[in-house]
Amino acid sequence: MTTLTIEALSIGMLAGVSLSLGSGEVVCVSGPSGSGKSRLLKAIADLEPHDGRVCLDETPQSSMPASRWRQQVMMVPADSQWWFETVGEHFPDGREADGLAEFGFPEETMGWTVDRLSSGERQRLALLRAMAREPSVLLLDEPTANLDGAMTEVVERWLMQAIRKRGMPVLWVAHDNDQIHRVADRHYRILGSNLELVDGSH
């Protein structure tokens, strides 16, 4: 059982955000462009300085080196970063990615160079790469923004199965209400400097 607790977190325009996510729970956050969704995820991932407290179970973010925290509380940004020449070098121990075939990739994908990837391929491979590192918590920033309807549903199903099986708390930034209805256990909307619970989502 893993729990992520956020207490009185403030970053940018957002102030005093408090949230608790239980094992296998998906909490969606939506809000207008520029309202602070990505910055909220970055603060929780310890990628941006912020006020307030974030805890993984009983362990505060402030007590752990940022690199170790980020391995456990892993953010998958909308624009993923790739450092090596080939896809396979980004996967731990050269391990084959679970879900490769399901996401429509041929076996030789691990040998592909990163610079040939389309935006949708990058997005799917970034999700597989994150899951291969076995984080305790997942922070997803519009994980299907570059995918068509059919692939969005494949990726959603795969993610939901993995999230429930591994019991990961997940904060999922989304703008599509249909997707939010499909995946969210709870839905918050950013209104000004606050997160407001959307009616009927709990």
Ligand X SMILES: Nc1ncnc2c1ncn2[C@@H]1O[C@H](COP(=O)(O)OP(=O)(O)OP(=O)(O)O)[C@@H](O)[C@H]1O
Q: What is the DSSP letter of 113?
A: B
Pick the stretch among 37-45, 50-58, 69-77, 102-110 that binds ligand X (CB under 6 A). Answer: 37-45
State in angstroms the smallest separation of the CB of 102 from ligand X.
Answer: 27
Q: Which of 19, 18, 21 lies closest to 3 in space, CA to CA?
A: 21
Q: Distance between CA atoms of 130 and 83, rounded to whole angstroms?
A: 14
39 binds ligand X (CB under 6 A): yes
Half-sphere exposure of 175 (CA within 13 A, CB side): 13
Give the chain's largest Cα–Cα span.
Answer: 47
Q: Does 30 bind ligand X (CB under 6 A)?
A: no
- Which of 4, 6, 27, 35 binds ligand X (CB under 6 A)? It is 35
Could you say whether residue 36 binds ligand X (CB under 6 A)?
yes
Residue 37 interacting with ligand X (CB under 6 A): yes
Complex with ligand X: residue 16 or 111, whichever CB lies closer: 16
Q: How far is the CB of 189 from ligand X (least distance, A)?
A: 11
The only residue of 12, 22, 88, 104 in contact with ligand X, by rule CB under 6 A: 12
34 binds ligand X (CB under 6 A): yes
CB of 177 to ligand X, least distance (A): 15
Report the candidate in 140, 142, 139 with the shortest Cα–Cα distance to residue 120.
Answer: 142
Residue 49 CB, shortest distance to ligand X, in Å, is 9
SS3 state of residue 134: coil
Binding mask 101-140 for ligand X (x = CB under 6 A): ----------------------------------------
Pairwise CA distance, residues 126 & 132, whole Å: 10
Q: List Cα–Cα distances, 45 to 4, 18, 85, 90, 121, in angstroms.
A: 11, 15, 26, 20, 24
The first and second tokens of residue 149, run together, are 């309807």
List contacts with ligand X (CB under 6 A): 12, 31, 33-39
